[in-house]
Amino acid sequence: MEIVVLRLGHRVDRDQRVTTHVGLCARALGAHGMLLAASDHSVVDTMRDVVKRWGGDFWVRDNVNWREEIVKWKRELGTVVHLTMYGENLPKAVNRLKANKLMVVVGAEKVPPDLYHLADYNVAVTNQPHSEIAALSVFLDHVQRGQELTADFAGKTKIVGNTGNKVGVKSSEQID
């Protein structure tokens, strides 16, 4: 399944950390890329650095027109899912999703009302106020049915998992 995250409503002066975490979550949990509907080179640079060190082929593009990206995606590629606490309950929506290519829209500040009409699905992880990072995490896990949790990113740096203690980070020369 190809998944792209569209980050909407990013405020450069306030949201760099949260938007970076949206990108980190998206990458770690199986998305292929992130579109940012704002111009913020620090987010793009941070994500590119993470990919360079930790592996994978995740990409980021900033300064996109969110409406044009959604229309293009729907016309040429696949399905658009908007994560919102006002949407259809997640388990019900995931059971109806049959797409191979998903654009997942994650907002920051109040989203434009027409987004609800442009999206194929408006999905609620919960109908309570919550973090967009949490919503994206839970959604990606449900839609991929946990398969993303065992992905190997083949990066220069890798965490060596251990149940007893923190083993640490290993460089590519140390990994068997």
What 148-155 contacts at long range (C-beta under 8 Å, 24+ apart), as own/partner pairs, is 148/29, 148/30, 149/29, 151/30, 151/56, 153/54, 153/55, 153/56, 154/55, 154/56, 155/51, 155/53, 155/54, 155/55, 155/56
Q: pLDDT by residue (tens digit) across 31-65?
A: 999 999 999 899 999 999 999 999 999 999 999 99
Is position 30 within any domain? yes
Number of domains the chain contains: 1
Q: Which domain holds residue 52?
A: 2-171
Domain of 63, CATH number, reads 3.40.1280.10
Q: What is the pLDDT of residues 95-152, one digit of tens each?
A: 888 878 999 999 887 889 999 999 999 999 988 888 899 999 999 999 998 889 888 8
Structure confidence at residue 176 (pLDDT): 45
Residue 176 falls inside a structural domain:
no
pTM, two decimals, is: 0.90
Q: Is 16 a member of any domain?
A: yes
Does a structural domain hold residue 163?
yes
